[in-house]
Amino acid sequence: MKTTTVLLLLSLCALALARSKPSGTVVPAQQSPQPTTKPTTTTTKSTTTTAKTTTASTTTLPPTTTQPPKVTNSTVGNYTLDNGKHRCLMAQMELRIRLASKEANGTFLLLPNMTRTAGDCNDNHATLKLISKELNITFSYLKNATAKMAFVDKLAFNLTYDFSKKSNAVQTYSVTNQSIQVFEAKLGKSYSCRKESLYMGQGLYLDINHDRMQAFNFTNSNEFGTTDPCPADQNNYRVAIAVGITLLVLIVVVVIAYLLARKKRTDGYQSL
């Protein structure tokens, strides 16, 4: 009897549970659509393919030119000298040493990109040295505080070069000029000259073009002062004055001659 009662209760519980389940259909998790995964994979493949195509086209481009670029060297150098506290000297120039003798003729050009600067300076003296493989040249500047001028009072160079270009015999030329007064300018101003030549002796000339130099009395900006041009670059009014005087004399002579001629004609007639 107890067994039958237990079985009857279990059957009623099972029937109640069966009626409580929902009637809708449940989709399994593995069968649900995944719209975001596939587009991501497709985009990655497209990006990789594009990168490979760009690289290939870049490497196959032809060269833009068939000739190497031309290399040009400036022959005008800019040289400065400082003493650690302030600027002592600035020089801008094209420098050549020319030999004109019975033995040989030729010109040596100093290339700025193959030249180094050295020297020393104080309040009254400045020494600029330009050193290359063939040439060692020294400009010694002196400051004259009384006359308020600065100038080069000594020039010296040592050149090892073959001017003949035929015998392949390299020679050494050593020249020193002392107690001179060249490249003169007022203190605070710069000396300038478009073209000049200095005879150094032994058939050697120092040719300097596009020259601008200054020693001492620089401004805080360390720039060139106003220029004191060399005599060749200065405006020469002598010719104009001479031409003007000549024209004035001719005008006076013509006027006097005209007056004399008119007077003679007047004297030839008798008054009525």
| pLDDT digits 0-9 by tens, 209-245 | 999 999 999 988 899 999 989 988 877 656 667 788 8
Reported as a pLDDT band with limits 50, 70 and 90, residue 10 is low
**Is pLDDT of 267 > 70?**
no
| pLDDT digits 0-9 by tens, 178-201 | 989 999 999 999 999 999 999 999
The gap between the terminal CA atoms of the chain, to the nearest Å, is 198
Per-residue confidence (pLDDT) for residue 9, from 0 to 100: 56
| Choice among 1-10, 104-113, 228-237 with the minimum mean pLDDT | 1-10
**Cβ atoms of residues 180 and 155 within 8 Å:** yes
Residue 22's alpha-carbon distances to 11, 19, 25, in angstroms, are 20, 8, 9
Domain-by-domain residue ranges, the chain?
A: 77-233
The domain defined by 77-233 folds into Porin (2.40.160)
Reported as a pLDDT band with limits 50, 70 and 90, residue 65 is very low
State the average pLDDT for the chain.
76
